[in-house]
A and B are shown apart, each in its own frame.
Chain A
Amino acid sequence: MSASTSGTSAPAAASRKSLKAFSEDVWKNKTAKINAELFTLTYGSIVSQLCTDYERDFTRVNNQLYSMGYNIGVRLIEDFLARTALPRCDSLAKTSEVISKCAFKVFLNVTPQIGNWSSNKDSFSIFLEENPLSDFVELPMDAARELWYSNIVCGVLKGALEMVQMDCDVWFVSDVLKGDQLTEVRVKLNRILKDEIPAGED
């Protein structure tokens, strides 16, 4: 009996080329595009409908957006992995790089900056200079304090990271829609989840 193994199979390409060029290629050649206005309006109508349905209880709207995002994230990660064939990351720094340069690029065609690392390197911030979800949006007065308009992003990240065994907290720190200087999403790694092993193996 013989066995053959490989370093990461197909996407060794990802390490040879820079991650940026690699993502550009995935975005260009393997990604179906939709009209930006259609996308923005679709998301906008969801948020504004949720605000109406929940009688402008914005905490509930935030939670609902988050859980919708979570459900998207757990599926989107498979799509992402199939497209990029990336292996699991060795470190959170690598993860942050893949999120900004690859995931955001492929799905939203933006490359946010990563920064604000905590001293023990278990949390970082994603700074969205551009946010395609919130083009045209102006928050109404009553929503400006509580509503995190793009909260779906946090849910997506949470769901996607969980599927690659990273238990994280993801939340918005600030949003230009609320008059803040920057749009900042915080990601904190709680722990790496253990892969399951068959019953009786431990």
Chain B
Amino acid sequence: MAIYSFWIFDKHCNCIFDREWTLKSNHASGTINSKLNEDTAKLLYGMVFSLRSISQKLAGQGPHNEIRTIATGKYRAHVLCTASGLWFILLSDLKRENLSEVLRYLYGEIYIKTVVHNWLSPIDFAESEAEKRGRGTRKIRNRNFLQRVEEFLGPMIN
């Protein structure tokens, strides 16, 4: 079982956090908020965005039809979309069937407590119109947030 990467997108379609692990053996490896991941982030966003649109259309007027997981030959993407427009996405191998509890924990216990409840941290990362609609590059940099994400996800990466 392995987790490969973790992503957060805000309601401005911007990636506000990314964490990718490169070595299974070392959970300190990999990149945090990497510029190199910008393109991957856009593709990932696009994929979830399109699938969401389709699933909503398929559901018609019925209840909400949110994406939970998307599986490919090698990956599984676990998605949590909140009513406030945040997306939490974990990429894992196929053995991980369901990470929704992990995603809820990342949102409710880590993001809420280290970013939302921290009044000196922004919660809207786009500072101007030009940084909205996927054109922003600001990231979550709170030390407490980074630390708790590492502590929580580190043991799960391999």
Contacts and interface: CB of A to CB of B under 8 A. Distances in A.
- Classify A-B as touching or not with yes or no (CB < 8 A): yes
Contact of B84 (A4, A163, A198): A163
B12 A196 contact: yes
Given A9-B100, A198-B133, A4 B68 contact: yes
Contacts of B155: none
B83 interface: yes
B85 A165 contact: yes
Contacts of B28: none
Contacts of B71: 1-4
B84 A1 contact: no
Contacts of A201: 49
B123 interface: yes
Contacts of A5: 55, 59, 65-68
Given A78-B82, A164-B84, A198-B45, A8 B70 contact: no
B104 interface: yes
Contacts of A195: 11, 85
B112 A78 contact: yes
Interface in A44-87: 74-75, 77-79, 81-83, 85-87
B64 interface: yes
B135 interface: yes
A74 B123 contact: yes
A9 B116 contact: no
Contacts of A119: none
Interface string A6-30: 1111100000000000000000000
B60 interface: no
B116 to A, nearest CB: 5
Contacts of B84: 77-78, 81, 163-164
B83 A10 contact: no
A129 B21 CA distance: 54
B64 to A, nearest CB: 5
B67 A3 contact: yes
A155 to B, nearest CB: 15
Contacts of A88: 64, 83
A54 to B, nearest CB: 22
Interface string A71-107: 0001101110111011110000000000000000000
A8 B13 CA distance: 21
A93 B63 CA distance: 16
A1 B82 CA distance: 24
A74 B111 CA distance: 14
A3 B133 contact: no
A141 interface: no
B123 A78 contact: yes
23 contacts: A3-B67, A3-B69, A3-B70, A3-B71, A6-B65, A10-B104, A75-B116, A81-B82, A82-B104, A82-B107, A82-B112, A83-B108, A86-B83, A87-B66, A163-B84, A164-B83, A196-B12, A197-B13, A198-B42, A198-B45, A198-B46, A198-B134, A201-B49
Given A7-B63, A7-B65, A196-B12, 14 more contacts: A3-B69, A4-B69, A5-B55, A5-B59, A5-B66, A6-B68, A7-B66, A9-B66, A75-B117, A82-B104, A82-B107, A88-B83, A164-B84, A165-B85
